[in-house]
Amino acid sequence: MNVVQNGGADLNMAVTSREEILAVCREIVAEEGLSSVNMRLVASRCNIALGSVYNYFPSKSELLLATIESVWMDIFHMNGQVLVFESFTACIAWLFDTVYKSSQKYPEFFNLHSMSFAAKDKNEGRKMMEISLMHLKKNLVQILTEDQNVRENAFENELTPEIFVTYVFTLLMSLLLEKQKSCEPLLTMIAHSIY
């Protein structure tokens, strides 16, 4: 005869989805930081067996990569809604404000996520971040090229809209990493450069 003891809290017998697991991961990142995300804690918070987490994420690095992507999606509210901006600078102001507010929700996310991977996973982490941000940069280029206020000779062979967006994005991220509360100097620089 087999005897089974229930030695702890009852497990959630309902199938937990990947999205539910990632929602819990985002909560952990918000409360404790990215470095606290691990399989056991996630299983415990989801009230599921550890193996259930492994069904969706075969390794900790895959869980972290998916968590990072999920946090970026949450930060940029990538839920399918279409945003319309009157100008490129309005878009940059919105972007700064959105990320700044999210940095309050996810403290230290920008500092920690790039350091949280084991040496073998750093390239995967960078690649995931590049993929997450590539779509955003592509949209910024589109907004810039559709901005009717941009003067006709603002761009040429050496300074294309793509290069300009790369520089602006780098400066924007630098302001956020330095925990600046305003991007007004950046907006002024952009306006002087292209309008």
Integer Cα distance of 10 and 173 in angstroms: 44
The number of beta carbons lying within 10 Å of the beta carbon of residue 113 is 23
Contacts of 5 (CB under 8 A, 6+ apart): none
**Cβ–Cβ under 8 Å, residues 56 and 18:** yes
> Which tokens belong to 125?
């982490």
> Which tokens belong to 85?
């901006």
Look up the pTM and report it.
0.74
pLDDT of residue 122: 63
pLDDT of residue 2: 34
Instruction: Name the nearest CA neighbour of 109 among 36, 174, 30, 41.
Output: 30
String of b and e for 132-141 (b: at least 16 CB within 10 Å)? beeeeeebbb
Instruction: Return the domain boundaries, the chain.
Output: 67-194
Instruction: Name the nearest CA neighbour of 150 among 160, 139, 138, 137.
Output: 160
**Cβ–Cβ under 8 Å, residues 69 and 129:** no
pLDDT of residue 121: 60
pLDDT of residue 65: 85
Q: Mean pLDDT, 10 residues at a time, over the chain (195 residues)? A: 43 73 95 91 95 94 88 74 87 93 81 50 66 83 96 94 96 89 97 97
pLDDT of residue 111: 66
